[in-house]
Chain A
Amino acid sequence: MSLYSLRNLAIEIADQQLVEGVSLEVEAGQCTAIIGASGSGKSLTCLTPFGLNSGQASGEMLLDGIDLSTTSAEEMRKARSQLTGFIFQQPLTALTPHLTVGAQLKEAAAQGDIVLDRADIIQKLERVGLSRADEKLDQFPHRLSGGERQRVLIAAAIAHRPKLLIADEPTSALDASLRHEIMCLLDDLRAEHGLGMLLVSHDIASVEGHADQLVVMDQGAMVESGPVAKVIANPKQDYTRRLIAATPRLSESAPVLPKTGKTMLETKEVCVEFPKPGWRRGKISAIQDANISVHQGEALAIVGGSGSGKSTLGRAIAGIGPLTSGSIEWEREKLPKRRSRNLAMRASIQPVFQDPIASLDPQWKVSNIVAEPLKNFQPEMLQTDRQIRVRNALNEVGLDEGYLNRNPASLSGGQAQRVAIARAIVAEPDLLVLDEATSALDPLVGAEILKLLAQLQCDKRLSIIFITHDIASARRLCHRIVVLDKGHIVDEGNMGDILKNPQSEITKKLIAVS
């Protein structure tokens, strides 16, 4: 008999059927992963059987011999607190802000009537790979980095020795190399304690190699399930096939990229410093001596972990962020700093941001949003001509005229990102700076946006700077790659060469985890 099993699970919230017909099993010491796009009901499937949200679950739910559908409130509390451990996506909000790390762990262990002394806690924190555990024990959660917080959360989730671990997107708030470390840690702990794990993710690549069973969900229904290797090698359903094809991998064949031309952009010893927050003196250096160049029709990937300064560099180039020293040259002409750039210089470089909804003014209509650059760059243009250009730009990103009068709030993430790209290309720039433009989107949508960008690059001979933490998706689009670490360029060269022969440790690590 398996540790945890769901049969024909259905979930209702406020008389709306949100999940239907989900069946899965978790064996002790093994991992079952649920994969699906946002809104597919994967988190609901994890949390509702334990009464952790307002939904009503029906169907057969068995945890270690306890039937969760008929059990009393007291039994349910026991099942939740003693048999199960939870790990959530946002490690800062999942930790209580006013308790120190040690107190947090003590509280978690107390659920299973386990009393921890200081040495136990240190040992537990060291087990989850937290360095200098004896110091961090007395610190509050906000002092720790994202990766450290997630480690503390894992330590707290297993402190009371549960049998089942439920991990709801445990790594999607972390950068690529940390993701891999956390997943490996979870694997080790599972083997060590004989834990069963139910893992939720939107990303197939992060689950491969860690999970045993795979459940694919779409729009509240189970699409396919089975052993991971079998489902990935031989998907039966069309949705699963598309999902697998959309996930970028380094093992796939190199794409055919358009030819490149003369040098368009060159940066020379670009440095960016920020004043330290508050009243402290001194500066934080975000970028040091960055020399990069971009040719016509070329896509350059800037890759690095969080805090590597990749976005800062992109913003300095696009003229929407600070630049402390060094120079940025456009067609051998020096571009001035942020506020003193004139319209002609702005028109040739346009940015696209990570969060598509936040990059559109919520009070504006799509037609006005896309027309804004044209109004500034070509004020003499007739209104009818401008409307035609706006419509053409929307067509180019695959949106029809029905979107002209929509508000940003009514758009999905993928549609909003298309509108943002339409705004960026409407005035016919030469260079797009894409700051993690696909990483906030679901894999299927992200792959479509990548395809769209490749198309635009071909059609318009656009140059692209593609800022990302994910080498595999950069490879689908980019000719060359620059790897950043702590503000320094550590690797630079053609995409193929760097992948074959990485120079720095950071690059090797980034390639290994993709």
Chain B
Amino acid sequence: MRSLLHPNHWPLWIVIMLVAAALLLPFVIPWTYDQIDWDAVRAPAFTGSHLLGTDEIGRDRLARLAAGTRITIMVAIAAALVSLVVGIAWGATAGWVGGKIDEAMMRFVDALYALPFMFIVILLMVIFGRSILLVFVGIGLVEWLTMARVVRGQVMALKQRPFILAAEAAGTKPLTIVIKHILPNIAGVALAYLMLTVPQVVMVESFLSFLGLGVQEPLTSLGILVKEGADDMDVTPLGLLLPGGALVLILVCLTIEGERLRDKYS
């Protein structure tokens, strides 16, 4: 944990500060994200208490930016965790059991890979209606495929190592071997891919929101803000630049951090 304080982890710190700001801002600014100020519709920056101005129906831009970042990060972390749990369970089982079961499980993953996943998510949204839970589940269930493949490869390599054989000879039960010997040894790689999954999910979520399939108004996310900003671009570029900038910053920082971790562990 101490190593996280090292200056090399600056991308992670930028993201953490961004999220902290998004969490703390509601306590500081007098407006909520769905509150309309009828006196200041489409106000430019620094009008009264609106630090970054208001949007086309008079909602405070800073409050909406903070709310959007919160939702986007929340969806991303939740979906990445779903993919982590499903991916590790699936990949570790396939890699450990091996043989025909492994074949079958991995062909299933291949089949899912072959499906146009964006299309599936959109289909789910259309059938079950728009709900934030469905955004979580839908994205998480698609993103676990890579994790499963990575974890399976790691488990298969570890399975041949003498210390696993020694544990078997020492009478350790197979499930205990997986939990105590194998999982701790793949934790580093899994963490690295988790870090890379988060920006991917951010991207998917923003894309869905941009299409109008993400979270429901008046709740907002960075993707929705970008879309609103793009619609209003000719009046003020601020509405597009702010959420777009936040999105880019999060994506770049998390990707750098994730790739560094991946290089370290594999």
Q: Do A and B come from one complex?
A: yes
Which residues of chain A have a CB within 8 Å of any CB of chain B? 315, 318-320, 339, 343, 346-347, 349-351, 353-355, 358-363, 372-373, 376-377, 420, 423, 427
Q: Which residues of B contact A372 (CB under 8 A)?
A: 167, 170, 172
Q: Which residues of A contact B181 (CB under 8 A)?
A: 361, 363
- For the side of the interface on B, what is the size category? 10 to 19
Contact B165 A347 (CB under 8 A): no
Other than A350-B169, A359-B166, give 6 A-B pairs with Cβ distance below 8 A: A347-B171, A349-B169, A351-B165, A351-B166, A354-B162, A377-B170
Q: Does more than half of chain A's interface fall in helix, strand or loop, or is it mixed?
A: mixed
Complexed CA–CA distance, A361 and B171 (Å): 15
Cβ of B6 within 8 Å of any chain A Cβ, yes or no, is no
Name 21 interchain pairs, CB-CB below 8 A, sorted by A: A319-B168, A319-B169, A339-B174, A346-B170, A349-B169, A351-B166, A351-B169, A353-B162, A355-B162, A358-B161, A358-B162, A359-B161, A359-B163, A359-B165, A361-B181, A361-B184, A363-B184, A372-B167, A372-B170, A377-B171, A423-B170
Q: Which residues of B contact A349 (CB under 8 A)?
A: 169
Which residues of chain B have a CB within 8 Å of any CB of chain A? 161-163, 165-172, 174, 181, 184-185
Q: Which residues of A contact B162 (CB under 8 A)?
A: 353-355, 358-359
Number of A-B contacts (CB under 8 A): 56
Contact B166 A353 (CB under 8 A): yes
Contact B170 A320 (CB under 8 A): no
Q: Which residues of B contact A361 (CB under 8 A)?
A: 163, 167, 181, 184-185
Interface centre among B163, B174, B185 (most CB of A within 10 A): B163
Chain A: which residue is nearest B164 at the CB level?
A: A361
Contact A423 B184 (CB under 8 A): no
A-B pairs, 5 with minimum CB distance: A376-B171, A359-B162, A353-B162, A373-B170, A363-B184
User: When A355-B162, A358-B161 are in contact, do A363 and B185 touch as well, CB less than 8 Å?
Assistant: yes
Q: Which residues of A contact B163 (CB under 8 A)?
A: 358-361
Contact A373 B165 (CB under 8 A): no
* Nearest CB in chain B: distance from A130 CB, A: 31
Contact B185 A320 (CB under 8 A): no
* Nearest CB in chain A: distance from B165 CB, A: 5
Interface centre among A354, A376, A377 (most CB of B within 10 A): A376
Complexed CA–CA distance, A260 and B113 (Å): 62
Complexed CA–CA distance, A355 and B162 (Å): 8
Chain B: which residue is nearest A359 at the CB level?
A: B162
Chain A: which residue is nearest B182 at the CB level?
A: A361
* Nearest CB in chain A: distance from B86 CB, A: 24
Q: Which residues of B contact A373 (CB under 8 A)?
A: 170-171
Chain A: which residue is nearest B161 at the CB level?
A: A358
Chain A: which residue is nearest B158 at the CB level?
A: A361
Q: Which residues of A contact B184 (CB under 8 A)?
A: 361, 363
* Nearest CB in chain B: distance from A424 CB, A: 8
Chain A: which residue is nearest B168 at the CB level?
A: A320
Complexed CA–CA distance, A343 and B171 (Å): 6
Chain A: which residue is nearest B160 at the CB level?
A: A358
Chain A: which residue is nearest B99 at the CB level?
A: A275
* Nearest CB in chain B: distance from A395 CB, A: 20
Complexed CA–CA distance, A363 and B185 (Å): 7
* Nearest CB in chain A: distance from B99 CB, A: 9
Complexed CA–CA distance, A320 and B161 (Å): 12
* Nearest CB in chain B: distance from A341 CB, A: 9
Q: Which residues of A contact B170 (CB under 8 A)?
A: 346, 350, 372-373, 376-377, 423, 427
Contact B166 A420 (CB under 8 A): yes
Contact A353 B185 (CB under 8 A): no
Complexed CA–CA distance, A346 and B165 (Å): 12
User: When A359-B162, A363-B185 are in contact, do A320 and B169 touch as well, CB less than 8 Å?
Assistant: yes
Q: Which residues of B contact A315 (CB under 8 A)?
A: 165
Q: Which residues of A contact B168 (CB under 8 A)?
A: 319-320
